[in-house]
Amino acid sequence: MKEQPLDLVNLVIPAKTDFVSIARLAVSGIANRMGFSYDDIEDLKLAVSEACTNAVDAQYTNGEGDIKVCCNIFSNRLEIEVTDQCVNEQDLENEELKTLREQGLELYFIESLMDQVDVQEKGGVVVKLTKFIKENGVEEHAGSPASYPTR
27 pLDDT exceeds 70?
A: yes
Phi/psi for 57 (5° steps) reads -75, -15
Secondary structure (3-state) at 118: strand
Residue 97: CB atoms within 10 A of its CB come to 20
Q: What's the Cα-to-Cα distance from 57 to each of 15, 32, 105, 121, rounded to whole Å? A: 8, 28, 10, 17
pLDDT tens-digit map of 47-64: 999 999 888 876 455 567
pTM of the entire predicted model: 0.78
Task: Tell me the CB-side half-sphere exposure of residue 140, using CA atoms within 13 A.
Answer: 7
10-14, 37-41, 96-100, 123-127 — which is least confidently predicted?
96-100
What structural domains does the chain harbor? 7-147 (3.30.565.10)
141 pLDDT exceeds 50?
A: no
- Measured over the CA atoms of residue 15, residue 20, residue 25 and residue 28, the dihedral's sign is positive
89 pLDDT exceeds 50?
A: yes
